């Protein structure tokens, strides 16, 4: 398929999505907006490093894009993402990992470090697919508050 046809097809899909009202969602909080769009309440796309690099640059990058809209993770051919609902991350018995094993228990500060530095609760690097988000404290706190609304 030629590049021109591919771009025309993508344009047609975006037009159809707009006509159907997709992408015109309203958000009840800054944290919810960040989770679904990667854009904060000031209308700024939140910068990140790492992750899937060029491939992520072509996609709409957000938490939900990899961890699903309910935060319970997603399995694809390329990767499996963990359940990032707050109750799972902070479970005193340890976070339930995608393979069914118990991992570490996260605190709010550890969640922030995972989001911004790509380090797990023990300070070990997370999978390289996880972007290192450049978020300020307000956006991080708002995102954690939203994670608390997701149910395991």
The answer to whether residue 17 is domain-embedded is: no
> What tens digit of pLDDT does each residue of 86-96 get?
999 999 999 99
- Do 49 and 41 form a contact (C-beta atoms < 8 A)? no
Residue 96 DSSP label: B
The answer to whether residue 61 is domain-embedded is: yes
The answer to whether residue 12 is domain-embedded is: no
- In terms of residue numbers, what domain contains 108? 26-147
Model confidence at 10, pLDDT cuts 50, 70, 90, reads: low
> What tens digit of pLDDT does each residue of 38-67 get?
999 999 999 999 876 444 444 558 999 889
- Dihedral of CA atoms 16, 19, 20, 24 in degrees, nearest 10, equals 110
CA angle (134, 137, 143) in 5-degree steps? 80
The answer to whether residue 5 is domain-embedded is: no
Q: What is the pTM of this model?
A: 0.79
The answer to whether residue 21 is domain-embedded is: no
Domain count, the chain: 1
Mean pLDDT over residues 25-44, rounded?
95
In angstroms, the Cα distances linking 149 to 32, 71, 87, 101 are 9, 10, 9, 24
Q: Give CA–CA dist 9/2, Å, rounded.
A: 11
The answer to whether residue 6 is domain-embedded is: no
The answer to whether residue 11 is domain-embedded is: no
The answer to whether residue 16 is domain-embedded is: no
Q: Which residues of 126-143 are buried (b: 16+ CB within 10 A; e: fewer)?
A: beebbbbbebeeebbebb
Q: Give CA–CA dist 144/142, Å, rounded.
A: 5
């Amino acid at each position: 398929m030629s590049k021109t046809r591919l771009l025309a097809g993508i344009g047609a899909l975006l037009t159809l999505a707009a006509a159907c009202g997709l992408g015109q969602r309203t958000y009840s909080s800054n944290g919810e907006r960040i989770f679904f769009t990667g854009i904060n309440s000031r209308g700024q796309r939140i910068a990140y490093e790492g992750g899937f690099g060029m491939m992520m640059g072509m996609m709409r990058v957000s938490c939900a894009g990899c961890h699903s809209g309910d935060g319970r993770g997603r399995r694809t051919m390329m990767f499996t993402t963990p359940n990032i609902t707050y109750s799972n991350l902070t479970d005193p018995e340890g976070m339930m990992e995608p393979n069914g094993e118990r991992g570490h228990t996260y605190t709010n500060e550890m969640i922030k470090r995972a989001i911004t530095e790509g380090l797990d609760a023990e300070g070990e690097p997370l999978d390289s697919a996880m972007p290192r988000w450049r978020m300020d404290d307000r956006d991080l706190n708002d995102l954690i508050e939203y994670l608390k609304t997701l149910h395991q």
